[in-house]
């Protein structure tokens, strides 16, 4: 199996909406973004699947060393070997790949966020920075496109958080800011025990509007002449906007189920 085939298999197996946005790219850009996505999946899997925090920290430290090896010209892992040909062509900066790793490391260090400022930093590292890297691969020609990409990444991550409130709670994690829970009279224990209290739906509507606000800010920042190149991101935005609408139609009943779009519906949107 070649490095590119490994990354393609990793992307396809995830079932993620990102996979559908890659389908319409020219081959070189598709290989680059698939390798970037596979990198994100690899380090995310460390956090999600390794139960021992010490082992997970060690694995992330290995990945930090592997990024150094990538930029020194001797990567070992199939993902970094797949990324190597694209570093210069798409200006894939070492510090950005390490920032994504830093965001994943935050998941090992904390399970609560006091306020939105703290959550926004996490979202920027795990999604906004990925948006910047992706925008470069897609062919960003203006600095404002990176503003669009950061805001889009934040919006997508907030939708992920809304969708996964119940799933994350079962792992002992609460990403919704504690100040928001207090504002709507929702206790952390309510989420952990999957109780739909009176304040839960208003809380989730508040979070949904925050996600939509970043989505609007992203679209406002994207110049018309950049839209064609950034079509994959726009596809992702459309899929996630539809998903958020679907969650809202279900009255945010996300504590006991994971609401998702079917693959066919994602493909239709794309």
Of 269, 148, 142, the residue nearest 219 (C-alpha): 148
pLDDT, tens digit only, all 270 positions of the chain: 899 999 988 887 766 667 777 777 899 999 999 999 999 999 999 988 877 888 999 999 999 999 999 999 999 999 999 999 999 999 999 999 999 999 999 999 899 999 999 999 999 999 999 999 999 999 999 999 999 999 999 999 999 999 999 999 999 999 999 999 999 999 999 999 999 999 999 999 999 999 999 999 999 999 999 999 999 999 999 999 999 999 999 999 999 999 888 777 877 877
The answer to whether the beta carbons of residues 108 and 53 sit under 8 Å apart is: yes
CATH of the domain at 228: 1.10.600.10
Query: 27, 61, 92: which is the final residue of a domain?
Result: 92
pTM: 0.93
In contact, 266 and 180? CB cutoff 8 Å: no
Residue at 97 is within a domain: no
Which residues are CB-contacts of 251 (< 8 A; sequence separation ≥ 6)?
Answer: 201
- How many domains is the chain partitioned into structurally? 2
Question: Which of 32, 64, 92 is the last residue before a domain boundary?
Answer: 92
Cα gap 107→155, rounded to integer Å: 19
């Amino acid at each position: 199996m070649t490095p590119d085939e490994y990354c393609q298999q990793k992307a396809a197996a995830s079932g993620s909406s990102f996979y559908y946005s890659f389908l319409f790219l020219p081959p070189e850009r598709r290989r680059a973004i698939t390798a970037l996505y596979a990198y994100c999946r690899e380090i995310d899997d460390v956090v999600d699947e390794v139960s021992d925090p010490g082992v997970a920290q060690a694995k992330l430290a290995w990945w930090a060393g592997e990024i150094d090896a990538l930029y020194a010209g001797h990567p070992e892992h199939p993902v970094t070997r797949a990324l190597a040909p694209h570093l210069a062509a798409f200006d894939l900066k070492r510090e950005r790949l390490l920032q994504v790793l830093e965001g994943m490391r935050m998941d090992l260090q904390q399970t609560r966020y006091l306020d939105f400022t703290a959550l926004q930093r996490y979202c920027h590292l795990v999604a906004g920075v990925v948006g910047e890297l992706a925008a470069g691969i897609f062919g960003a020609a203006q600095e404002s496109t990176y503003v669009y990409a950061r805001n889009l990444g934040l919006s997508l991550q907030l939708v992920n958080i809304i969708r996964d409130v119940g799933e994350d709670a079962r792992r002992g994690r609460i990403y919704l800011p504690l100040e928001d829970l207090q504002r709507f009279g929702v206790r952390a224990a309510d989420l952990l025990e999957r109780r739909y209290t009176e304040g839960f739906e208003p809380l989730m509507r508040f979070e949904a509007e925050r996600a939509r606000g970043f989505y609007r800010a992203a679209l406002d920042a994207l110049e018309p002449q950049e839209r064609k190149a950034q079509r994959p991101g726009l596809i992702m935005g459309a899929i996630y906007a539809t998903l958020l609408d679907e969650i809202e139609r279900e009255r945010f009943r996300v504590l006991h189920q994971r609401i998702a779009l079917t693959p066919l519906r994602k493909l239709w949107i794309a």
